[in-house]
Each structure stands twice: as structure tokens, then as C-alpha cells.
Amino acid sequence: MRQYGQAPVLSSEEGAGVAALVFRAGPLLCALRLDEVIETMRPLETRPLAGTPAFVRGISVLRGVPTPVIDVSRLLGGGSAEPERYIAVRTDRGAVAFGTGPVLGVREVDAEPSGGHPALLGGGNSRLVAGVGTYGAEPLLLLQSMRAVPDDVWEAAAAAGAAP
């Protein structure tokens, strides 16, 4: 994983789950599996993309490729927040940039499958969350990046000439 800027590597608990990049998304604490993360960077210029849900900030050019940008806080219902970092992630249909708060670092995350928390993750958000765990005394959502971008966003990106 390439990083612009240094995120500290947090101490990991031995044998406790999956390596993940931990970050804030508004009031929420989230993580992405490290094998899904391409790189982290400062936010780039982002242009609005018409016809997309409110959680889509628009399109940015990452390494020469127009890429959809998702506001993770808004996506998960935590309200919109100005991103401090972009996290580029792999999906089945191409790279996506997640607009997030500060990146806290890499650590082993142990999260229960989200199917065990229907009251917490009911509705559409349950397909975005692979599991729920803790980070210190805070709840942590382990995200499934490849499910975070609905088909209508890819269609709007393709219409704008931005999809791979």
C-alpha cells in the first residue's frame, strides 16, 4: 500500500482478526481490509457528478484515472463531513476514493459478522458492513468496499466518461 503522509502503525493483538486500515468517518470509527486499500492521500479536487446519491461527492482524478469519490460518513448515516483524507480502494468495477476523517493507522481488527447485528445494521447499510468490532472502548465498523458503490453511481460515472 502506498501512502502519502505517514499513518502510524498501531500495535496489533496477536492472532486477532484481519489487517485493516482504521479511520474516522465523521462520528464513526471504521476500517477497511488492508488488501482492499490501494493508497491514502490528501483530498484532491473533486467535481460533482449529477444523478448520483447524496453520499457521492463526485469524481477526482487519481493517478490519471477519473474515480468516484464516496463520503463515507454520509454513506453510513453519520452526516456529511469535509474529508481530511482520501483512501483509494479496489472494487470489482475499478478504484473508488473514500473521503474520510483522519487515518489512525493499520491494526488487526476482530469483527463479528454484521449479520449478527440486525438492529444496528438494518436496512441498506448492512450490505456495506462486513462486521462490527471494537477499537478500545469505541465500536468499529469493518467495511466491505466492493459493495459500497451502487450500480447507479457506476452508470453515472460511465455517462460522464469516467468509468474504467
Q: What is the pLDDT of residues 104-116, one digit of tens each?
A: 999 998 877 755 4
What does the pLDDT read at residue 46? Answer: 94
What does the pLDDT read at residue 101? Answer: 95
What does the pLDDT read at residue 30? Answer: 94
Which position has the higher pLDDT, 52 or 6?
52
What does the pLDDT read at residue 124? Answer: 47
C-alpha distances in angstroms, 115 versus 19, 79, 133?
21, 24, 13
What does the pLDDT read at residue 24? Answer: 95
Global confidence as pTM: 0.79
What does the pLDDT read at residue 85? Answer: 97
Q: In angstroms, rounded to a whole number, what is the distance separating the alpha carbons of residues 112 and 18?
A: 12
What does the pLDDT read at residue 128? Answer: 79
Domains of the chain: 2-159 (2.40.50.180)
Task: Inform me whether the pLDDT recorded for 125 exceeds 70.
Answer: no
What does the pLDDT read at residue 134? Answer: 86
Mapping DSSP to helix (H, G, I), strand (E, B) and coil, where does residue 116 land?
helix
> CB–CB of 37/21 below 8 Å?
yes
In degrees, rounded to 5, the angle at the alpha carbon of residue 136 between the alpha carbons of residues 105 and 126 is 80
> Scanning the structure block, which residue is given the C-alpha cell 460533482?
48
Q: In angstroms, rounded to a whole number, what is the distance separating the alpha carbons of residues 78 and 71?
A: 10
Q: What is the pLDDT of residues 7-35, one digit of tens each?
A: 333 333 444 588 999 999 998 999 999 99
Please, what is the end-to-end C-alpha distance for the chain in angstroms?
21
What does the pLDDT read at residue 127? Answer: 65
How does residue 6 score in pLDDT terms, banded at 50, 70 and 90?
A: very low
List, in sequence order, every residue forming a beta bridge with 74; answer none if it has no partner. none
What does the pLDDT read at residue 120? Answer: 53
- The overall average pLDDT reported for the chain is 79
Mapping DSSP to helix (H, G, I), strand (E, B) and coil, where does residue 103 land?
strand
What does the pLDDT read at residue 5? Answer: 40
